[in-house]
Amino acid sequence: MWSILGADALYIDIPSVAKTRLSELAGDSEKEESFRSFLDRSEVMFLINGLTEECSFFITVPDDLAPDDIQLMADIILKVASAEHRFVTVNGVEQRYKIIINNNREPELLGLNKTPGMSSAEVFKPIFRALDAPGRINSNFDL
């Protein structure tokens, strides 16, 4: 059985349990309330590397969060992770883990929710156009 910050979880419930436990253990000051609102708007994803057996928590924050807000989230998560010595355990055995906070959303290139105009060739067309655009000075040409 998996345990995230002291709460039991099934593998598919790990992201939601982690989000809930981080909120519960954050504290009660004004900063922690802001942290909770940021975390509620964020997406938490959990992956495990089968080769290294390292657990990864990806917290994708909304695009409108300021760098100071992201730093606040990182500080509070670090405080909670430091206070709780066993962040992730499986059958009582502590697991190696990392927490990644980002706001980088890759366009979906395939599938039903494909981002319009973002097929693999479309991504590079603006670069190609910029390289051969009329009016560009030829750096090899001497006047």
Query: pLDDT tens digit string along 113-133?
Result: 776 666 666 667 777 777 766
Give the model confidence (pLDDT) of 13-36 as tens digits. Answer: 999 999 999 999 998 899 999 999
Does 10 fall in a domain? Answer: yes
- Number of domain units in the chain: 1
What size, in residues, is the chain? 143
Supply the CATH number for residue 26's domain.
3.30.300
pTM of the prediction? 0.70
Q: Are 3 and 17 in contact (CB under 8 A)?
A: no
Q: Residue 62's domain spans which residues?
A: 2-106
> In which order are the strands placed within the sheet that holds 97-102?
43-48, 55-60, 97-102
Does 85 fall in a domain? Answer: yes
Distance CA 114, CA 94 (A): 39
